[in-house]
Amino acid sequence: MSISSSRKHSSTVPHGSTKSRSSSGAIKRSCSEHNPYQENSTSSSKSSSNTNSSYEPTPLQEKNFKMQVLMKLESLNKSLAETKQMVKKILAKTSQDELETVANLELIEQPAETPEELETLCDQLQDKDYRNKMVIYLSSIGGISLGDGTRRIMRTLATNTVWSDFSVSGRKGKKALKDTPILSLIIKSSQKRDHTLTAQIIEKEVGETLKYAPTRKGGKKQSTE
């Protein structure tokens, strides 16, 4: 009896164990198949991969981009046309003798770098013939606008280090440019390029250039930083 019972007992144990392992495997498969975190992770990576590899702009986006490019090109063409028109006006107002004079002029080898050099230029401008040649020369420098032309003329005459000590009227302890022949020279040169410009408008542009000279390249504030 004991041997038989023992055999029965031994035969039932593996059966129960096999059944237990089967149930455990089924549970694991079930959890794996219904794991929301795994599904979301897989779906997210697929979505990210599709987004990076297959993005294409919509027809509306392409149309807007093309419109922006065309508007930019139109703006550039307009600026170029205005510059050409300005050059034609200058050439029309400048005689052949004046053009030849400008071509042969070497009135300024380099901008004045010290107050003493600017003072020397002021002394030279007392000569009427020299002053007239300087007007012709500076009016030929050009510029796409009054402000640009004014800055070009002033860069030709002196550096920002020198201009840092000046204002138009001599405010805040600075030297007054209106007390020198330089301001009159700039005004006459600008008006030779465009007769419609008034002295007040040109003087205002000169004032703006002097105002920002200390912080621009070569200016005293910039050089000390």
Predicted TM-score (pTM) of the model is 0.56
Q: Is residue 207 within 8 Å of residue 168, measured between CB atoms? A: yes
SS3 167: strand
**Span 51-66, pLDDT tens digits:** 455 678 888 888 888 8
DSSP 10-58: HHHHHHHHHHHHHHHHHHHHHHHHT-HHHHHHHHHHHHHHHHHHH----
**Span 117-133, pLDDT tens digits:** 999 999 999 999 999 98
For residue 139, what are its two tokens? 């009016």
SS3 166: strand
Q: Is residue 200 within 8 Å of residue 152, measured between CB atoms? A: no
At 167, give phi and psi (nearest 5°): -135, 170
pLDDT at 88: 58
**Span 133-180, pLDDT tens digits:** 899 889 888 788 999 999 999 999 999 999 999 999 999 899 999 999
